[in-house]
Structure formats: C-alpha cells, structure tokens
Amino acid sequence: MTLTNENDVQPYNLPDLLQFADGRRVGGVADWRERRGEIIRLFETHVYGAAPQSSLGCEITLVSSDRFALSGLATRKQVRLTFQNHGQT
C-alpha cells in the first residue's frame, strides 16, 4: 500500500526520548548516553538499517558529501558499497 495523502496516515505517538525501553527514566548524563544508544539502535532497525560489517566482504567508499543539505540542517553523504562473494566483486 502506498500512501499519497498525509491525512491517510494512522495516528502515531513517538516514544518518550527520556524513557528507556524498560520504562526507567533518564536521570543524568550517563543514563542519556545509554538511552542515546537505544535510540540509535531503533533508527538502525526501523529507519536506516545497519551498515554491513567490513569483515563480511563489504567495502564502503565515500562518493560525495554535502554538509549543507536541507538548507544546512543535514549532511548528505553518497556512498558506494562493494560486496564480494568468495573473492568475486
């Protein structure tokens, strides 16, 4: 199903950034560092996906980088992934 009208999107509540997955609250800098790791793993799982490990025969090459994407709000990077299958590219 492809949604083309924002009004067709079902209601969604974003998770509380200062609450751990197990329900604990962030109480300081050390807690935030731990919670930040949880959030990054959520993005890897549900949004971006994790980059392949280099030991799996994948070479990652930066093709271009634009630090001023989205009017300076983001950095856009284009990368080339080269995979090997038993030494064959």
pLDDT of residue 46: 83
pLDDT exceeds 60 at position 1:
no
Average pLDDT, the chain: 84
pLDDT of residue 55: 59
* φ, ψ dihedrals at 41, nearest 5°: -65, -35
Tell me whether residue 89 is in a domain: yes
Give residue-wise pLDDT tens across range 15-48.
899 999 999 999 999 999 999 999 988 888 888 8
On whether both 62 and 46 belong to a single domain, the answer is: no
pTM of the model: 0.49
Per the structure, the count of domains in the chain is: 2
pLDDT of residue 24: 96
Tell me whether residue 85 is in a domain: yes
DSSP letters for 14-79: PPPTTB-TTSPBP-SHHHHHHHHHHHHHHHIIIII-PPPPGGGTEEEEEEEEEEEHHHHTEEEEEE
On whether both 39 and 65 belong to a single domain, the answer is: no
Tell me whether residue 9 is in a domain: no
> Which structural domain range is residue 22 located in?
16-50
**Confidence band (pLDDT; 50, 70, 90) for 10?**
confident
Tell me whether residue 20 is in a domain: yes
